[in-house]
Every structure is written in structure tokens, then in C-alpha cells.
Amino acid sequence: MLDARFAKLFDLSGRTALVTGGSSGIGRAMAEALGGAGAHVLLAARRQDALELTVRAMTAAGWHASAEPVDVSDRASIAALVERLRAARRPVDILVNAAGINQRVPFETLTDDDWDTTMAANVTGPFLLTRAFAPAMAARGWGRIVNVASQQAVRAFGHSGAYGASKAAIVGLTRSTAERWSAQGVTCNALMPGFVITPLTAEAARDPVRVAAMAARTMSGRNGMPDDFHGVTLLLASDAGAAITGSMVYVDGGFSAT
């Protein structure tokens, strides 16, 4: 039987978590973990239909969840979300920046719009949300920020020039956020997924040769799945991870170690 002292380390009852990209893929898995640990989860994404489906699924499981439509590539949309939450007097204790896009085209064909949209969604959005919510977390003496980065923050993959640059920026944002607020009880860390089968990787996953090759490069012999992010989410978003901050946490089956 799990000792109550250790169970309490992961208990998020009474906490509110905002999860961007929370309606699918890694973001949804992270939202499920937070909801299962007792947090009220605010699911934030562009597609209202997908949000509603996820909210219904989480509610059916007995967890607390609600939908907050937002486009993280749009400053006005983010500002509206922040204002709604402030007006509702719903403080955000846990911020998960999981939303992201990947323009899979050769570097030389990247357009200005491709670049700007990728940076807006993958870097500026997380920055704006962090700036909006971290000071209040610090004032309360407790907060958790988890950014979803990528292997491509530290190594180059084909046809992902803008995406790789944006994820390298997220690593830098994570460190600067941790430096600013860790002493006030607000930790900030970044997850470094390997190749995970999600809607974001659907195009690449249609190539069985590539999927097999990526799995062969791991130590575990398999590619990642969204459920692999349940445990690490709870660690970084709870009291259990109070001494972990400014870190890049690899969730990749050993891919980065080969």
C-alpha cells in the first residue's frame, strides 16, 4: 500500500492547470494525468469540437475539466483567454505549454509566413502565457510550468528548420523562466520527447520504414506514445518535483543516449 506521505507529493487537489494543446496528443495525455491527480484542468486549443470531446471524456472519468478555446499563435486570442480567467478569478497554478505546429517542408522553401506562424505558436505563445501567469504564481509561493520542447532543440532533423529553431528557443525560455522565479516557488522545466505517435507526427508516421528506423534508434526498441507522458507530468507538476527546475527531461526511450 502506498504510504500517504508519498501519495500526497503527487496530489494536485485544489490546483488549477491550464494545458494548451490539451485536446490531442501529448497535451491531452498530460491533461489526463493532471485531472487524474485531482487538478481542475482548463483545456486550451483551437478546435472547439475536439475540446468538447476531451472535456466529456475527462468528466466521464470523474475528473474536473473545462474548455477554453484559444489560438496560441494569435496574441489577441491569448489576451482574451488571460482576461477571461482573471475575470473569473481562476488562478492558474500549473501551466503546460504543449500546443505546437511543425511546418514539414525543405528549409529553402520555408516562407516568411511559415516561419512567423511557427514562432508565434511555438515560442511567442508560451512566452505570453508564462509572463501572464508566472508572477501571480510567485506571489502565491507555488507554481509549475512545463514546456514541451523536442529532440530537435538539440539535433537537426530533415524538413523541420523552423520547428527545430522554435524548440531550441523553448529550451532557452525554460531556463530563463526557471532563473527568474524558482526562488519564489515556481519551477519551470521542458520535456524532450522522442518520436511520439500523435496527430502532429501523423504525416511522418505514415511511412512504416521511417517509423521502424526511429524505433530502432531507441534503447527501448519502440517509439513513444502519449501515455508515456503521464508519470513525468505528475512529477514536474506536483510537490514531488519541487527541486527540479531549469531541466530538460528526455522522454524518448533512450534515443538521446545512443
Active-site amino acid positions:
163
Alpha helices, H only, 141-222: 161-181, 202-205, 208-216
- Report d(CA 193, CA 245) in Å as an integer: 17
CB 93 within 8 A of CB 142: yes
Report the candidate in 102, 211, 111 with the shortest Cα–Cα distance to residue 164: 102
CB 22 within 8 A of CB 47: no
CA atoms within 13 A on the CB side of 219: 9
CB 156 within 8 A of CB 213: no
Phi, psi torsion values for 168, nearest 5 degrees: -65, -40
CB 188 within 8 A of CB 177: yes
Nearby residues of 202 by Cβ (< 8 Å), 6 or more positions away: none
- Report d(CA 125, CA 30) in Å as an integer: 18
